Amino acid sequence: MPQKRGSIEKNSVILCIQWRQNRLNITLHCTFYMQHSTSQLKLSQLAASIPGSAILAFSNAVKERIRNGEKIYNLTVGDFDPSVFPIPRVLEEAIIDAYRNRQTNYPLAEGNADLRETLSSFIADVQGLCYPASDILVAAGGRPLIYAAYQVIVDPGDKVIYPVPSWNNNYYVQLTKGHHCRIETRPEHHFMPVAEEIAPHISDAVLLALCSPQNPTGTCYTADQLKDVCRLVVKENERRGPGKKKLYILYDQIYHLLTHQQTEHADPVSVFPRVKPYCIYVDAISKGFAATGVRVGWGYGPEPVIAKMKAVLSHVGAWAPMAEQKAVASFLQSRDAVKQFLDPFKKELFDRLQQIYNAIRLFKREGLPVDAIAPQASIYLTVKIDIPGDASALLLNGAGIALLPFSVFGATKSKKWYRLSVGTCRKEAISPMLRAFKKILQENGEPAHHSRSREA
């Protein structure tokens, strides 16, 4: 078949789809792109420069291949297959009841009072933290809250510190015209940014964007690691003195209910209470309750900052729907219902992660060029594939296995590392997927030297 070439433009992300031997090869060009045309469309500087999501471009291309009939083990998406992992039945019924009771008008801009009171109680029970309803802001998932936090803290040219790989911080910095300060994290720290890596950059920064459990790695801060980071922030703000713009931590903990085995979630205020005036939390039901399409998220932190975030979102209108707010308030009030959902849900996730991890460690002991970090939390496994060329393309085209490279999360020094997600993974698909994975490693890799384990 003659080679054909086409391209789909999503702002500056170009997804090139090539037909070769009746197989699709996917290449992502995550660079600024301007279409050469005699009739260029003139829009804002932001429109001309902001890239689309490389993560979504890759994942959507894989989904398109599946729709076209290819058998692919899609381990790319940070989402759930509802036929495998449905939302809690109690929550589902509460949503239906709320719509039947015609809870369909506008909610309060900051979130309904009953939900915010419920969240205040839930935060106290789960984390042992005291945040009154006035310090809590509800929105349509976590993204609007992260956007609002960036908008109220970051001015053009302000420095934002964030780790890579990480989810979407590079785009939020660009949206606010901030100055990127990327920290290339290391496998020996499980790709979490530690205090000694942050310290050299902290003196003129205004925002430190952190996530634990981390997306894409599924790894977590230890309490001691996070305490050291928080101590840095408090000391820096004390140095700046009154009247000076402070350094804030934006703490995305959207996966914190999904810690596995002995892993314990650490959060800034719990490990270092003095950081409370400078810490904004972001949370949601999307991951902890497999409810990515049920758009209810919440942020909490110092009341003056939360109030300004509310003002921003009141103009954006990114409110969680009334019915979903009523349902989430009802569901979270029942701690028994929460536990009855989480316990088996987490076990199913961990069983999948652990089965794949154990197989990868066996492959490594057999001399194949692969490794992994033991699963700590969330739906992700961090995998190293040390073969020549683009392992994601080889796996996709040779074995029908789709993984996301750390490069789509902004990393430039972790080219052999990949995110594997089990959110859509059926147990019966794991063994054939692993056999296909092993075959690719055998065919394309040189025998690896046995290296020190990087288990958590």
DSSP symbols for 373-410: EPP-BTTEEEEEE--SS-HHHHHHHHH-EE-EEGGGGT
The pLDDT of residue 366 is above 60? yes
Q: Which whole number is the average pLDDT over 371-379?
A: 97
> Is domain 89-333 classified as CATH 3.40.640.10?
yes
Q: What is the mean pLDDT of the chain?
A: 89
What pLDDT does 46 receive? Answer: 87
Q: Please state the domain extents for the chain.
A: 5-83+341-444, 89-333
Could you give the CA distance from residue 71 to residue 34 in angstroms, rounded to a whole number?
35
Burial of 34 (0-12, 13-18, 19+ CB in 10 A): exposed
| Tens of pLDDT, residues 10-67 | 333 333 333 233 334 444 443 333 333 334 778 888 888 888 888 888 888 888 998 9
- pLDDT for the residue 183: 97
Report the helix count and the strand count for the chain, using DSSP H and E: 14, 16
- What's the CATH number of domain 5-83+341-444, 3.90.1150.10, 3.30.300.210, 3.40.50.300, 2.30.40.10? 3.90.1150.10
Integer angstrom CA distances of residue 318 from 30, 284, 290, 304, 453:
28, 14, 21, 20, 45
Answer whether residue 186 shows pLDDT above 80. yes
Phi (first) and psi of residue 262, to 5 degrees: -90, 0
- Tens-digit pLDDT profile for residues 230-273: 999 999 999 998 889 999 999 999 999 999 999 999 999 999 99
Cβ neighbours for 36, distance < 8 A, ≥ 6 positions apart: none
What angle do helix axes 142-153 and 303-316 make, rounded to 10 degrees? Answer: 110
- Percent pLDDT > 90 in the chain is 80
Q: Confidence class of residue 446 from pLDDT cuts 50, 70 and 90?
A: low
